Amino acid sequence: MDVEDVAELTKQQLDFIERVGGNPRDVLQGAAAGAVFVYVEEPTQTVRYEVTTQGEARRVDTFAPRSRPRLAGPG
């Protein structure tokens, strides 16, 4: 995924990026300091992207989708 691909993200994905990493356009255009990892939950998988200060986003990992929120606690 390159900077041009930001238009392909859904509103839900952009909202998620905004919650975890500030302004998604700034992150994708390299205005944010350091690398940012963004997790996008899709119906069949969770995908992790690395967004660098050069404005590049690349798919890093794919995980099974979460069936329920993880709760902190003993054990």
Is residue 74 pLDDT above 50, yes or no? yes
Where are the domains positioned within the chain?
Answer: 35-64
Q: Quick one: average pLDDT of 38-44?
A: 82
pTM of the model: 0.42
Is residue 39 pLDDT above 60, yes or no? yes
Distance separating alpha carbons of residues 21 and 68, to the nearest angstrom: 22
Is residue 31 pLDDT above 70, yes or no? no
Distance separating alpha carbons of residues 69 and 32, to the nearest angstrom: 28
Q: Quick one: average pLDDT of 1-25?
A: 59
3-state class percentages of the chain: helix first, strand second, coil last, to nearest 5? 30, 25, 45
Higher pLDDT, 35 or 57: 57
Q: Quick one: average pLDDT of 1-20?
A: 59
Q: Return the ∠ at Cα 71 (arms to 52 and 45), rounded to 5°.
A: 50
Q: In the sheet where 36-41 sits, what is the strand order?
A: 36-41, 46-51, 57-63
